[in-house]
Amino acid sequence: MDAFMVGVGVVIDVLRTVLLSIALVFGAICVLDWAVRTRKISPFNAIARFCRSTVDPLIVPIERKVVRAGGTPAAAPLWALAAVVVGGILLLTFLDFIRLGVANSIIASQSGAGGIFHLLVSWTFTILKIALLVRVISSWLPVSPYSVWVRWSYVLSEPILAPMRRIVPNLGGLDITPILAYFLLNLTESLLFRLM
Q: What pLDDT shows up at residue 158?
A: 92
Nearest to 101, CA basis, from 127, 79, 83, 70: 127
Q: Where are the domains of the chain?
A: 1-111, 112-196
User: What is the C-alpha separation between 36 and 47, in angstroms, rounded?
Assistant: 8
Q: What pLDDT shows up at residue 110?
A: 84
Q: What pLDDT shows up at residue 131?
A: 92
Average the pLDDT over 163-188 and give the result.
87
User: What is the C-alpha separation between 127 and 133, in angstroms, rounded?
Assistant: 10
pLDDT in tens, 56-115: 888 888 888 888 888 888 888 888 888 888 888 888 888 888 888 888 888 888 888 888
Average the pLDDT over 172-194 and give the result.
88
Q: What pLDDT shows up at residue 170?
A: 78
Q: What pLDDT shows up at residue 1?
A: 61
pTM comes to 0.64
At 128, is the pLDDT very low, low, confident or very high (cuts 50, 70, 90)? Answer: very high
Q: What pLDDT shows up at residue 144?
A: 84
The per-residue pLDDT of the chain, averaged, comes to 85
